[in-house]
Chain A
Amino acid sequence: MSEPTGEHPLLELADLRVHFGLRGSFLQRMVGRDVGAVKAVDGVTLTLRRGEVLGVVGESGSGKTTLGRAALRTVPVTSGSVRFDGVDISGLRESELRPLRRRMQMVFQDPNASLNPAMTIGQAVGHPLQVHHIARDAAERRDRVAAALERVGLGPAERYLDKYPGDLSGGQKQRAVLARAVICEPDLLVADEPVSMLDMSVRARILELMLDLKRDLGLTFLYVTHDLATAKFFCDTIAIMYLGRIVEYGPAEQIYAEPRHPYTQALLRAIPEPDPSRAVPRDLPRGEIPDAASPPLGCSFHPRCPVAFEPCGWEGRDLADLLERHWVSRSPETYEVERAAVGGLSQLEVPATTVRVPAGSGRTGEDVVSLLETIRGESPTDPIWRGVRNIRPDGDGVTVDFRDDYVDPPLYDVGDVRVACLRYRGDTAK
C-alpha cells in the first residue's frame, strides 16, 4: 500500500463497469441459463483531482449511485479500474480495503436511516476512531468526537453526545453523519444526494457546511445528485449520467452556460423556478429512463430525444412506442378499429433494426402499411421516420427496415466539454 504522494489524481476511474447479474427464476438457474445483467455502470472514465468537487448528475436509474459506491468499492467492480491515490483498488479484498476506508468516506441520502438507532450520536461519530484505532483512549476519543460535532455546527457537543438519532431533526442528523464522515480526516467524500431529503429551509445550511469542510480539511468531493440546482452551487466539474454512461462532462460554468447534450438541456429546463411568470415547459422529453438490462440501440437517449436523427439507433421498440403514442391520442373506438389491423406487438419489442409487424387476423400487410402511413402522415416530423429505410408488405405482415449504420456515440471533445451526442460527431476533427 503506497503512502499518499500527491502526484496522482485522487481518484481515477477508467472504463469502469459494474454489472449486476439478474437471478432469473429457479428453473433458469437450474439449467444454467444466462438471464442477462443490469449494466448499472457501463464504461465510465473520469478523473478527480485533489480538492475538486465533481457532481455526478442523473435521474434514478442512471447508475449515479452505483458509480459512487464503486468509487468506494462497496460494490464489486465488473471490469475497468478504480485508482485511489494511484493504487488500483478495483480488485482488492475487503480486508485489504479496510485500512483505506479511513481515507474515503460517504454521506447518505436519508439522514433518518444512516445513523444506527441503537447508538448515541457520540458513539456513532466516534466509531470510526475505534475501528481504526486512532484515539489512544476513551478520553481522547471523546475530545475528538466533541471537536467533530462542533465543527459541523452541533455545539456545544455535550448537548448531543448522549442523544439518540431519534431525538434530532433531519438537518441535525445529516450534520452528525458529516461529523462521522470527517472525523478520520478523509481525503475523499462521496456524498449521495445529501440534501435531497431535507427541507428546502435547511438544504443551504448543509451545502454551506460541506463547502466549509472542503475548504478547512482539503476534502475532495464526489457529489451524486439528481438536482442540477444544488450542484451549481457546489461543483467545479459536472458529469451528466444516463443509463450507465457519462453523456456530458466538463467544467460546471460551461455546462450551465451552454449545455450541449439534449438530456442536459432538458434536465436544466425542468427545474422548477419560484417564479410564477414562468409556465411549465411543454416540450420536455417524454418517457423515462429505459431498462438498463436491455438498453436501446445506438444512443441510449434517442427514444426520448427531441433532436434525434438518422444514425441514433432506431429499432423495433421505437416503432412499438410510436404506435402506443399514436393510440393514446385516439378515441377508444378508433383505437379498437386500428388495433385490429395489427397482430401481436411483442415481435416489435426487440433491439433489432429489422422487425416484422404481423397483420391482425383477417387483415393483410397492406392494412398495416396503410396504418403506418396514416401515422406518418399525421406526424411526418417525428424523428423515427429519419431512421426508417423501408416498409414493405410481405403477405400477412410488414417488414420494417431501420438504418443499420447507427452509431453508439462516444464522448466527443467540444471545447473543454465532452459530449456523447452524434450531433457533435463532426466537431471531433477540429
Chain B
Amino acid sequence: MRGLRRVLAPLFAARGLPRVLLWVGLSLTAIFVVLAIFAPLIAPYGFDQYAADGVRFPQQAAPSIHHLLGTTVQSDDVLSRIIWGARTSIEVVLLALLLSIAIGVPLGLISGYFGGWLDRVLVLINDSLIAFPYLLLAIVIAFLLQGSIGGGVATAAIAITVIYIPQYFRVVRNSVLSVREEPYVEAGRVIGARPRTVIRRYVFTNVVQSVPVLASLNAADAILTLAALSFLGIGIDPSAAAEWGYDISRGIDDAQAGYWWTGLFPGLAIILLVTGLTLVGESLNDSINPLLRQRRFTDTTLPDAGVEPAMAAEAPGNAVIRVRDLRVWYGSERGPVQAVDGVSLDVRQGETVGVVGESGCGKSTLARGLLGLLPAGAVSDGIVEFDGQNLVTLSSEEMRWLRGPSLGMIFQEPMTRLDPLMRVSAHFAEALRVHQPELSDEQVRRRSLDALAQMGIPPTRFDNYPYEFSGGMRQRILIALTLVLGPRFVVADEPTTALDVLVEAQILQILADVKANFDTSILFITHNLGIVAEACDRVAVMYAGRIVEQGPVSTVFSQPQHPYTRELLASTISLTTTGLHYIEGSPPDLFSPPTGCRFHPRCPNVMDICSERFPQPVDLGGGHPVECWLHV
C-alpha cells in the first residue's frame, strides 16, 4: 500500500492546469461510477420499463418534467436507460480490464523473465493478435460466444478482453526485459530467492507502475469498443441490459425525424465518461512517467544572493573566458536548488583548468551553464564573458551558433553522442557543413582526416560506423569532432571516467597534445585529483556550488589552504597512499545549504564563526584565492 502511495504521490502534487484536468477527470469518472453503483436507487424506472402503474409511457416524448430526458419509440425513459447503461458500461469495462490484467500481466512477467522458446511463442501469438484489426477480432469473439453463453455482460467483456491482453502482455514484458538486467534483480537471485519470489518482489513491483496508466486509457477505449459492438448489434443483447451504443443506433432514425433526445443523451454520456477516463489516464502518465515529470518544475524564482561575491584568481595573461559571479539554479519538488552559487573563474589562452569536487557540488551544472546547455527549467545569471559578449544573456539560438566553432564540449559517454546510423565521415561532414557551408567536399575530407589523425584514428576507418570502434576510439572521434571546428574554449566533462586506466592515460595524453598544438583552453571537470595533477595547469575546488579554493596545481597540491582541499587530497587513493582516509558525511543538499561556511559541518578545523558567517574570499597571493575563516 505504501508503495502505491509512493507512486501516486506526485499525482496529487500536480499544480495549475494539470491539477484542474486531473480533478475534472476524476469527478466525471466518479459521477458515472456512482450512477452505476446506485442505479436501482437513482434511476426512475427499470432499463426496459415502458409503463408505470399500468399506464404506458408516451412514445418519443420530448424531455419534460415526467421524463427529464424524454422517451424512446418503445416508450423507454431515456434518463433511466442512461443510468442503467452506465452500470452496463462500468460492469463490462471492469470485468474486461480485470480479466485482461489478470491474464496479460502474469504472461508478460513469465515471458519476459524466463525468455526462451516460451517467450518466442507468446510474442508471436501476441504480435499476430495486435496485427489483427481489433474491432474485427472483438466481433468474431462476440459472435462465437453469443452462441454458447448468450449476449450478456460476460460475452461483451470477454470479447474486449481479447483486445487488451496483448497490450498488457507487451507493456509488461518489455519493462521486464529492462528490469531483469538490473543488479537488484540479480541480487535477488544471489541471495537465493526462488524465481517466483524474484518475479514477485523484485520484478513485478518495478514494472507494475505502467499498468494503472494503461488500464485507465484502456477503460476509455473499452467504452467506445463496447458502444461500437452494440451499435453493430453484436454487443449486449437488448433484452439483457441497457447499452448506450445500442441506444445510439436506435436513435439515428429518430434524429432524422426530429426526435433528437433519444440519440443525443447516450452519445453525451459516452463522450463524458471517455473524457473523464482519458484525463485520469493522462494525468497518471504525467506523474508516473519520469520523462514528463521534470517539466512541472519550471517555476523558479530568483533566490536572494546570500553569499559574498566570489573572487577569481586574476593573474597576468589573457583570459579566453571570464566568469564572474555566475549563479545557476533550477526548480525541484521542494523549491529552487542553487547548484552554482556565485562562481568566478578565468581560463586563459592555452590553459587547462581542472574543476574538482564530490558529486553534487555543482561541477557539471557549472560546465553546462558556461555553454548554455542547461536543462529546461534551469536559470542562470552573472557574467560569462567570451569574445566581448556575456554568454549568459545570449539567446539559445545565438549560443547554438557559438557552440562548435567557438565553444566545444566533450562528454562522458561517447556512445550516446554519436548517431549509430551515421558513418564517422557523415558526422564530420555534418559538423563542418553547418558552420562552414563554403567548404568543398575535398576540404571537408582533408580537415576531418587531419583531426582524426591528431587523435590517432587511422584514415582507413573514416567510413566506418560508430559501433565498429572501441570505447576509447569513440571518445577520440568525439574529441576530433569537437576540435575540427577549432573552438578556442572546450569544456571536458569527466571525459575519461567511463574508460579503463590505460585508455584514460591515452586520452589524457591526447588532450595534453591538443593544448600544446592548438593553444586551446580547456575546462576539465573531474572527480579525480590524480587526473588534475597530470592534466591541468590550475585547479578550482568546488564545494556546494562555490569554488572554495583555486590556484596553480603545483601550489594547491603542495600547500592546500582550504580544509576541503586537504581532505579531498587525503582521501584520494593512489599507489603512493599509505593510509585510508575519508571525509565524514556528504555534500549538503543545495536546496538548503548550511549557514555560514557550507563545509563547516564536515570540517576538521571548524571554529565558532564558521557556522555563523560566510567566509570572505581572501587572495593568498600568486592567484590563489580561498574562502575559509582560517585565512581571514
Contacts and interface: CB of A to CB of B under 8 A. Distances in A.
Contacts of B528: 200, 272
Interface stretch (A79-87, A225-233, A368-376): A225-233
B540 to A, nearest CB: 15
A177 B553 CA distance: 37
Interface in A73-126: 74, 94, 97-102, 105-106, 108-110, 113-119
A55 interface: no
Contacts of A282: 509
A345 interface: yes
Contacts of A339: 459-460
User: Does more than half of chain B's interface fall in helix, strand or loop, or is it mixed?
Assistant: helix
Given A170-B359, A270-B501, A131 B193 contact: yes
Nearest to B583: A201
Interface stretch (A323-331, A352-360, A407-415, A420-428): A323-331
Contact of A233 (B456, B461, B568, B580): B580
B402 interface: no
B206 A116 contact: yes
A332 B501 contact: no
A278 B574 CA distance: 13
Interface string B182-202: 111111111111110100011
Contacts of A105: 190-191
Interface residues of A, number: 84
A390 interface: no
A426 B527 CA distance: 45
Given A108-B183, A201-B568, A286-B506, A128 B501 contact: no
Contact of B580 (A59, A204, A279): A204
A279 B183 CA distance: 38
B471 interface: yes
Given A98-B194, A109-B183, A288-B471, A169 B586 contact: yes
Contacts of A230: 573
A101 B557 contact: no
A201 B460 contact: no
A332 B450 contact: yes
B108 to A, nearest CB: 17
Interface in A240-262: 256
Given A99-B192, A200-B573, A324-B460, A284 B186 contact: no
Interface string A256-290: 10000000001110111111111111101110110
Contacts of A281: 505
Interface stretch (B42-50, B530-538, B610-618): B530-538
Contact of A200 (B6, B509, B529): B529
Given A59-B501, A266-B502, A280-B505, A204 B571 contact: yes
A137 interface: no
B445 A229 contact: no
Given A127-B201, A280-B512, A284-B502, A229 B586 contact: no
B585 to A, nearest CB: 9
B472 interface: yes
A280 B535 CA distance: 8
A171 interface: yes
Interface in B458-479: 458-461, 470-473
Interface in B155-213: 182-195, 197, 201-202, 205-206
Given A118-B205, A278-B533, A345-B460, A272 B574 contact: yes
B424 to A, nearest CB: 14
A327 B459 CA distance: 7
A113 B183 contact: yes
B135 interface: no
B184 A229 contact: no
A329 B505 CA distance: 20
Contact of A274 (B183, B188, B473, B533): B533
A327 B460 contact: yes
B446 interface: yes
B172 to A, nearest CB: 15
Contact of A203 (B202, B473, B571): B571
Contact of A59 (B502, B531, B553, B568): B502
A164 interface: yes
B586 A274 contact: no
B282 interface: no
Contacts of B517: none
Nearest to B2: A120
Given A278-B534, A328-B456, A288 B472 contact: yes
Contacts of A128: 191-192
A269 to B, nearest CB: 8
Given A200-B572, A204-B582, 13 more contacts: A101-B190, A115-B184, A131-B192, A169-B586, A170-B359, A201-B567, A208-B580, A229-B575, A266-B502, A276-B557, A288-B473, A325-B458, A328-B458
Interface of A: 59-60, 72, 74, 94, 97-102, 105-106, 108-110, 113-119, 127-128, 131-132, 164, 169-171, 177, 180, 184, 199-205, 207-208, 226-230, 232-233, 256, 266-268, 270-282, 284-286, 288-289, 323-325, 327-332, 335, 339, 345
Going nearest first, the 4 A-B pairs with the smallest beta carbon separation are A272-B530, A101-B192, A324-B458, A118-B205
27 contacts: A101-B192, A108-B183, A108-B187, A109-B183, A114-B183, A115-B187, A116-B185, A116-B202, A117-B184, A128-B191, A131-B194, A170-B359, A229-B575, A233-B573, A233-B577, A270-B501, A271-B530, A272-B504, A273-B534, A274-B529, A274-B533, A278-B533, A279-B534, A280-B512, A288-B472, A324-B458, A324-B461
